Structure 1
């Protein structure tokens, strides 16, 4: 879990660094050179423009639709991640027993612990890295959308949506706050059954704060992408983890009656 948290924080920091270091002042076109421009930024830019044309020129609606389509694209990975997370939760008592059994820090004992831990993963059908895969896939998309937003001339010219300019930070900070709140709710639903995990409890507060800070400084279109993605994830997680959520709610109700 600690490694996963470190990976999440590291990927977010890398995203911020790359977003700041890459060229954002050159318009993206079909003539733009380089693998990143040709296969990530330009296709996303073209996709956003084409969808905007279909919905009457609204780039805000286009970003919402594109976000939902991208989320549907990686939905199988997210379902696999959720199932892997549930399996990891189920095997925690056995993991704890193994650590107690092989508590000695000598090399031979630690090798035995590692061996039996991997066997336990195989028994439960768990891939320790499966939980990080969706995040790793999302980061290039997130950076790509950032650049598509900043470098698509048509979007810069028709950037108004609701109360904000898509190409500039939200002047009222409403969208960053909504992004933070929806991130918190999404995290809260995801960690049902893992409330006693201190690392997860830390992420419950750390992630929303980081998202708010980034959303305040980034174009509102990126915050809009994050809000829509969070709402999609909340609905998705609710349906996938429905039995767990009902059990947790029943447990709290029973505790309250006592």
Structure 2
């Protein structure tokens, strides 16, 4: 029962957990924003930041020196690269939800059977019966938290992208639309926050009412946290988030329509 509660908690707040981890990593990293190149020392700088910076420069060179468009193109490329993982996760989620609905009456009966029995023997017996039930229906509870995988895969990319933007001086010298890529722009921060709010709301479509109530918290907290981060970084990073958010909105609508039929 405790394991199921833990899995439910991880699934419910996976984005928040990873976003907090991102903030902790950034706060713990060195504030080294000197230009990065092939001679830069440090494992992360050499193998993550420099390649990302080089990718941005090469893409911008191909696009006649437009670093904003380069960031947009790279962002879309990253999202397409991660798309198969999100599709697989969505299929696994639908399959797991179907099996969970099927075994829930039996699972509830087992939990009721051991309600109030807290001895090690009783808890072990309950886990054995639950495990046998899962095996009978070929149900793996860990698949229910597999949705974290695409977000986990994004972490080194996002952090590498963050430092590549901060340590590629050519980016800060350019502007896009009404804002400078190298400075914080409050109006564009609001744009990124709005896009992330819409992304969170779209993710609620098709969910049952209890699930909607549980996930509604994320529709508020995730845009706020994105806004807080964006107020402390150059506008080039919120540009990445805004484009990524728009892609995810379209991706979510298509997946929900084709896989979940909602």
TM-score (norm 1): 0.84
C-alpha contact 1:24 1:150 (8 A) present in aligned 2: no
CA RMSD, Structure 1 to Structure 2 (Å) = 2.5
Give 1:250's aligned residue: none
Give 2:145's aligned residue: 129
- 5+ long unaligned stretches in structure 2: 1-7, 116-121
1:57 alignment partner, one of 58, 62, 65: 65
2:195 alignment partner, one of 159, 166, 182: 182
Structure 1 245/119 Cα, relative in aligned 2: closer, same or farther at 3 Å?
A: closer
Give 1:196's aligned residue: 210
1:12 alignment partner, one of 13, 16, 19: 19
Structure 1 120/88 Cα, relative in aligned 2: closer, same or farther at 3 Å?
A: farther
Shift of 1:119: 2.9
Shift of 1:162: 1.3
Give 2:5's aligned residue: none
Moved more, 142-151 or 85-94: 85-94
Q: Deviations along 1:137-162, whole A, 9 cap, x unmatched?
A: 11111111110010112223x23111
TM-score (norm 2): 0.83
Does residue 236 (structure 1) correspond to residue 243 (structure 2)? The answer is no
Give 2:240's aligned residue: 225
Structure 1 8/240 Cα, relative in aligned 2: closer, same or farther at 3 Å?
A: closer
- 5+ long unaligned stretches in structure 1: 248-258
Structure 1 100/130 Cα, relative in aligned 2: closer, same or farther at 3 Å?
A: same
Does residue 215 (structure 1) correspond to residue 222 (structure 2)? The answer is no
Moved more, 204-213 or 16-25: 16-25
Runs ≥4 residues deviating over 6 A = none
